[in-house]
Amino acid sequence: MALPTYVLLEPGSATGPVPENAALDRCREAWLSRFKAGKAKKEDNVLAGYYAEAAYREAMPALIDHESIRDFIACAAHGMLIGAIEFQHGTQLLYAAQVALGTLSHQPKQNRPPGRPKCLPEN
């Protein structure tokens, strides 16, 4: 089994310009910062990439609402695309987001005003 090669692609190098997204920026910066720190400590690319991937995942948003889940999915997919997250880890992250999204749609609505009462048919 071959060891993964960690090479972070530059934004836009694979698919064109990357849209502005604070969550993506935070995840990418966490990866880049940790990878550079590892290289400064003379870690090889595999070890530096391993810890950088962990930093990327730790920077991902919590799965608490629709917006954070959307950003989480964007980070996971983008991380897989640029090589910051291994495919297997990425698929697990996307599955977690899918489960979180499913639970949001099944939560009871809070602070919802009562609807109009149904009209009863006249006898």
- The domain ranges of the chain are 22-105
65 pLDDT above the threshold of 60: yes
Phi and psi angles of residue 84, each rounded to the nearest 5 degrees, phi first: -80, -25
The model's pTM is 0.70
39 pLDDT above the threshold of 90: yes
The C-alpha atoms of residue 76 and residue 1 are separated, in whole angstroms, by 24
pLDDT of residue 105: 74
30 pLDDT above the threshold of 90: yes
The C-alpha atoms of residue 63 and residue 26 are separated, in whole angstroms, by 16
H or E stretch at 34? helix 22-40
pLDDT of residue 113: 55
Nearest Cα residue to 60 out of 103, 18, 29: 29
How much is the mean pLDDT over the chain?
82
pLDDT of residue 109: 62
